[in-house]
Amino acid sequence: MTVVFWQHCNLVDPKCQIGYNSSMNKDKLATQIKWTATVITLTGAVFASLNIYPLSAITLNLGSFTFLIWSILIRDRAMITVNAGLLSIYSIGLAIKLL
């Protein structure tokens, strides 16, 4: 059975590699995005605690946006709602303050 698979497989195609599993790659990407968003958000919280404005709001916006990408990737509606809401609130607050 494996021989037939390799005979019909385009070897340039990454899906033809032994052990290819798209869900494994998606899970790894989701984990990397989640931890990147965590670090960005915590950095924004440090800036906020030190009253470094507008860098705190910009960093928190970036963290919310990154978490929004992650929540869309994993299709978690509650997290999509929370992060879209936070992104909207931070963006409106930043726009009002800077304009």
In whole angstroms, give the CA distance from residue 68 to residue 73.
9
pLDDT > 90: percent of the chain: 66
DSSP state of 57: H
Check whether 5 has a pLDDT greater than 50: no
Check whether 23 has a pLDDT greater than 50: yes
Q: Which residue has the higher pLDDT, 45 or 16?
A: 45
Query: Which element (helix H / strand E) includes 77?
Result: helix 77-98
Q: b/e string for 16-54 if b means 16 or more Cβ within 10 A? A: eeeeeeeeeeeeeeeeebbebbeebbebbeebeeeeeee
In whole angstroms, give the CA distance from residue 41 to residue 62.
8
Q: Which residue has the higher pLDDT, 85 or 13?
A: 85
